[in-house]
């Protein structure tokens, strides 16, 4: 409670992070040759970046030991998305995790009880004392878990906007700076990209729908915003690993999408973790591959009531609509439906004609459809004029941007 009200200075934040990190197992990956770099996102709607990014960056020679979480509330989680692939296991043992890193340079798993147990207890305490919303406590909580992975570098995607955990830009900036400072002072080079989460990322929201969209990107297609953010985060991972120029990193990653190396790595990961690789069949078999993933029973198209341009798609409302359809968890113990979700056929800036479909809902029950439709209709706002493009990547914070504080200042 004292930290909540008074904040902590950088040294205090780093100390708390170190103590929580060493309260459990800190992975030692030194027997695996190569630089180990991970990415963490503070969470958003339609954020399936990890599914594309981890194999793509691994295909460029970086070791990616990714430990991810599950979705809660309006935001989705990487583990839930991966588990929509039939047979895919996210509960690898430490030995299996390391074997996978050695063989294919990549593994995507869930957090075990042994990683930062003190954070789990403190978080539960913060939850019941209304002290979750503290920047130094959030920074130390996130960083203690990431730094326990035994990584050499970390790229953070700090989301800002309606669908983000941190809605205001200034708060997102503070959180990003605090995490970069903490990681750097604990010996792991950390970079943060502050990115827009006012509208969902890409067009798919919901687990198996997002897996299909991620595969589309690895095949050279997919929505522009999703490709842009993935390439940018990946180029920073390559810079941390090999000191590569950002432009050069972008080129390597785009080439590995074109030549199929990223997709090949994704398939290798699915195979290593027990999943059905038929999900990744070539483009001429799109229908088959969709049939392999869980598919929903009811599909409803939403049509526009007027002509205009899409001015806004409130990400939080879309996230809640997707949760109502069964794609997300209202409580930690809710059971999710991997097939449920939403396809946004129109995104911000697109024109729409009266009666033209702008979104498709997938779910199991009509009552869920009604509620989700209502939320989605509220989420979309039309205007007569085309809105100006806003940048997707707002700010990049590196260790050079952190001005050392005097020691008494509070973050």
Active site residues: 40, 119, 126, 141, 145
Q: Which is nearer to ligand URA, 77 or 363 (CB)?
A: 77
What residue ranges bind ligand URA (CB under 6 A)? Answer: 123, 132, 137-138, 141-142
Q: Which is nearer to ligand URA, 82 or 142 (CB)?
A: 142
Q: Which is nearer to ligand URA, 141 or 178 (CB)?
A: 141
Main-chain phi, psi angles of 39, to 5 degrees: -125, 145
> Taking the complex as a whole, how short is the minimal distance between the CB of residue 90 and ligand URA, in angstroms?
17
Q: Tell whether the torsion through CA atoms of 176, 179, 182 and 183 is positive or negative.
A: negative
The answer to whether 188 and 152 have CB atoms below 8 angstroms apart is yes
CA 375 vs. chain centroid, Å, equals: 23
Q: Which is nearer to ligand URA, 147 or 376 (CB)?
A: 147
> Taking the complex as a whole, how short is the minimal distance between the CB of residue 316 and ligand URA, in angstroms?
16
Q: Which is nearer to ligand URA, 141 or 185 (CB)?
A: 141
> Taking the complex as a whole, how short is the minimal distance between the CB of residue 141 and ligand URA, in angstroms?
3
Tokens 């970046």 identify what position?
A: 49
Q: Which residues contact 379 (CB under 8 A, 6 or more apart)?
A: 313, 314, 317, 318, 321
Q: Which is nearer to ligand URA, 19 or 132 (CB)?
A: 132
> Taking the complex as a whole, how short is the minimal distance between the CB of residue 16 and ligand URA, in angstroms?
12
Q: Which residues contact 11 (CB under 8 A, 6 or more apart)?
A: 185, 407
> Taking the complex as a whole, how short is the minimal distance between the CB of residue 142 and ligand URA, in angstroms?
5
Q: Which is nearer to ligand URA, 138 or 226 (CB)?
A: 138
Q: How far apart are CA 314 and CA 309, in angstroms?
A: 15
Q: Which is nearer to ligand URA, 125 or 255 (CB)?
A: 125
Q: How far apart are CA 240 and CA 253, in angstroms?
A: 15
User: Which residue number is nearest to ligand URA in terms of Cβ?
Assistant: 141
């Amino acid at each position: 409670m004292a930290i909540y009200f008074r904040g902590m200075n950088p040294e205090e934040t780093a100390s708390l992070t170190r103590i929580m990190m060493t309260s459990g197992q800190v992975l030692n990956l030194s027997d695996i040759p190569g630089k180990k770099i991970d990415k963490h996102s503070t969470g958003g709607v339609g954020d399936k970046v990890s599914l594309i990014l981890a194999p793509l960056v691994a295909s460029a020679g970086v070791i990616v030991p990714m430990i991810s979480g599950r979705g809660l509330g309006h935001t989705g989680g990487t583990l839930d998305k991966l588990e929509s692939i039939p047979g895919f296991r996210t509960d690898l043992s430490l030995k299996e995790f390391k074997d996978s890193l050695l063989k294919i340079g990549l593994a995507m798993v869930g957090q075990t009880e042994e990683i930062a147990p003190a954070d789990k207890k403190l978080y539960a305490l913060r939850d019941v004392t209304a002290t979750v919303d503290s920047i130094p406590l959030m920074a130390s909580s996130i960083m203690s878990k990431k730094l326990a992975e035994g990584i050499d570098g970390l790229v953070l995607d700090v989301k800002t906007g309606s669908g983000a955990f941190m809605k205001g830009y200034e708060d997102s900036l503070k959180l990003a700076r605090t995490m970069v400072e903490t990681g750097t002072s604990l010996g792991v080079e950390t970079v943060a990209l502050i990115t827009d989460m006012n509208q969902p990322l890409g067009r798919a929201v919901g687990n198996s729908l997002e897996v299909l969209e991620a595969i589309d990107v690895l095949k050279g297609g997919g929505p522009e915003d999703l490709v842009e953010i993935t390439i940018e985060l990946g180029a920073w991972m390559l810079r941390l690993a090999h000191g590569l120029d950002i432009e050069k990193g972008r080129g390597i990653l785009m080439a590995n999408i074109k030549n199929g190396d990223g997709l090949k790595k994704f398939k290798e990961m699915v195979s290593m973790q027990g999943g059905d690789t038929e999900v990744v069949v070539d483009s001429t078999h799109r229908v088959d591959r969709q049939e392999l993933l869980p598919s929903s029973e009811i599909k409803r198209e939403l049509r526009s009531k007027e002509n205009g341009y899409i001015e806004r798609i409130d990400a939080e409302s879309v996230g809640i609509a997707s949760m109502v359809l069964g794609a997300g968890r209202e409580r930690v113990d809710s059971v999710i439906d991997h097939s449920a979700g939403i396809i946004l056929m129109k995104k911000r800036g697109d024109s729409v004609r009266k009666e033209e479909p702008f979104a498709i809902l997938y779910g199991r029950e009509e009552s869920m459809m009604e509620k989700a439709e209502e939320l989605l209709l509220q989420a979309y706002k039309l205007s007569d004029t085309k809105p100006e493009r806003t940048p997707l990547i707002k700010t990049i914070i590196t260790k050079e941007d952190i001005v050392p504080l005097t020691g008494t200042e509070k973050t």
